[in-house]
Structure 1
């Protein structure tokens, strides 16, 4: 199945653009993601516990560019089912971390409350194509080979 999801492009600072993608959890609660092509792993806000299906014991080091030289300690988790357009994603694996600092940054220029960052793990799995001209993200659940 292929689906197109509208994206919003916001300018956090002069010539510093970020792509915002909506999703829906059960109950049609909209959750907003930042599309982060430079992130290797998708991240979700640990403060949104109502959407986390399970959390694994232990932690993982997550290297975050431009945030710190030291890796961030995160835990791993799986999310409750959610939809990106028509595409249903079950048990999405994510790193869990407190995203309050990210939301403080976004609230300065937008009304979006960010639930997470979509990293390359997700983008590769769903063959993501960003169409800047049409402002859509195209996803497919066809096997990508990665």
Structure 2
């Protein structure tokens, strides 16, 4: 029996297979990265950070987000600083991961130049942001290390 489209759409959301790359910064020190496409056809590289609660975007890439007036938050991160960091909050302009359009993504914006300096020591990758738990939970992310992909549901 064929089910109406709307029933199957809501019961079985779209699943996207996003290629990931494993970057070895030092011996046995791996980071997962994924590539995005911005509206102007530029590429962006994101670190998949399963230990971060919030997604972060590079403050210097102003054309890719709009600040939310008056909204800021304290970020707590052992990797960035011992003390909470005051961060502005922004809405990302629409972008995509392997054809999966991402809209209405809220991020904390910080200057990521210090992270990019660490990456520059061992790779030519420039990071535009970190995908944190907020993103990973929203899209029910599953990381498949064997196939080097991240599965997302929309």
Alignment TM-score > 0.5, same fold: yes
Work out whether 1:93 is the aligned partner of 2:133. no
- d(CA) in 1 for partners of 2:93 and 2:44? 12
Work out whether 1:56 is the aligned partner of 2:50. no
- d(CA) in 2 for partners of 1:2 and 1:99? 30
Which residue is 1:73 aligned to?
Answer: 86
Of the three residues 121, 128, 134, the one matched with 2:147 is 134
Of residues 84-93 and 111-120 in structure 1, the stretch that sits farther from structure 2 once superposed is: 84-93
What per-residue deviation string (whole Å, max 9, x for no partner) do you get for residues 85-134 of structure 1? 12111121000000000011111111111000000000010010101001
Which residue is 1:42 aligned to?
Answer: 55
- d(CA) in 2 for partners of 1:79 and 1:66? 23
Aligned residues: CA RMSD? 1.1
What per-residue deviation string (whole Å, max 9, x for no partner) do you get for residues 28-56 of structure 1? 21100000000000000010001013333
Unaligned runs of 5+ in 2: 1-13
Work out whether 1:16 is the aligned partner of 2:29. yes
CA shift at 1:23, angstroms? 0.6
CA shift at 1:67, angstroms? 3.1
Which residue is 1:6 aligned to?
Answer: 19
CA shift at 1:84, angstroms? 1.1
Query: Which structure is higher in strand share?
Result: 2
- d(CA) in 1 for partners of 2:47 and 2:98? 15
Q: SS at 1:127's partner residue?
A: coil
Unaligned runs of 5+ in 1: 142-146
Which residue is 2:128 aligned to?
Answer: 115
- d(CA) in 2 for partners of 1:39 and 1:138? 19
Structure (1 or 2) with the larger CA radius of gyration: 2
